[in-house]
Chain A
Amino acid sequence: MHAKTPVNSRPPGELVLDMRSAAKPENLKQIRTAVRDAALGAGCSESCADEIVIAVNEACMNVIEHGYALDPNGVLTVQLSAQNGTLFAWLGDQCKPIDLSQLKSRSLEDIRPGGLGVHFMRECMDDIKFLPPPPGYGNLLQMTKTIS
């Protein structure tokens, strides 16, 4: 679960988490625990770390459900780093490339199940964008947040 990522790529600054996991729903709790510990270790407050956990969890869910369509052979990588007061969260997968325009939040006025994940990610983080995926990746999502 915690093997080093095989690609020669990492977010900027000091790496505080580097994990590779099977893209399975039952692994989400372990990912959340690791992300929270790493965010706290990087200097985030409890509430800041909790929001990073929410965002990373939702991003991982999207990869598991939509990217890999629940294929248990899928792999995702989660890397966290800190630089100049900013925490970087990188989420890598080997899925088909995603168009950023697909990352849409729905209106909260529309009270219905589903579609909240992207809204949570945008609410909890300062910036979300896809980076050009390095070799071995299908997508590389970067989320950043000021360490507070």
Chain B
Amino acid sequence: MEHEVREEHGLSIAAFRGDIDFNTSPEARRVLLELVENRQDLMVDMSSVDYIDSSGVASLIEAFQSAKTTGSRFGLVAVSPPALRVLQLAHLEKVLPIYDSVAAAADA
């Protein structure tokens, strides 16, 4: 898994590439929580996520809940089909804000 953090449309974008699994989710969790704890409005670009397992999903949930606590925005953008399938298994597509693009998230 690789990641990069950038600013776009006034949002912090954390873009992950590859697999967010039990081996890599601790790093994803650290990145997400660090951004959220800085009270930054955060969107997770999941367009290049090939696979996510329950530990990766747990990292997203934890960041989402932390963002609610700090009052900052948190959402997912451009979720890849395999990642969306896993989010649907957890029924999280109804809970987590999901946008087609960063621009759509900025306009929301």
Contacts and interface: CB of A to CB of B under 8 A. Distances in A.
Interface of A: 25-26, 28-29, 32, 50, 54, 57-58, 61, 64-65, 108, 111-114, 116-117, 119-120, 123-124
Contacts of A26: 23
A25 B21 CA distance: 8
Interface residues of B, number: 22
B90 A65 contact: no
B22 A112 contact: no
Given A61-B53, A112-B65, A28 B23 contact: yes
Nearest to B18: A29
A113 B61 contact: yes
Interface stretch (B40-48, B70-78, B81-89): B81-89
A117 B22 CA distance: 11
User: From DSSP, what is the main secondary structure of chain B's interface residues?
Assistant: helix
B66 to A, nearest CB: 10
B64 to A, nearest CB: 8
A120 B58 contact: no
A58 B58 contact: no
A132 B53 CA distance: 28
Contacts of B53: 28, 54, 57-58, 61, 117, 120
Contacts of A50: 82, 85
Contacts of B91: 108
A124 B55 CA distance: 17
A61 B89 contact: no
Contact of A120 (B23, B65, B89): B89
A116 B25 CA distance: 15
B22 A116 contact: no
A65 B58 CA distance: 15
Nearest to B57: A116
Nearest to A61: B22
A15 B61 CA distance: 38
Contacts of B85: 50
B54 interface: yes
A117 B90 CA distance: 10
Contact of A113 (B58, B82, B86): B58
A123 B91 CA distance: 12
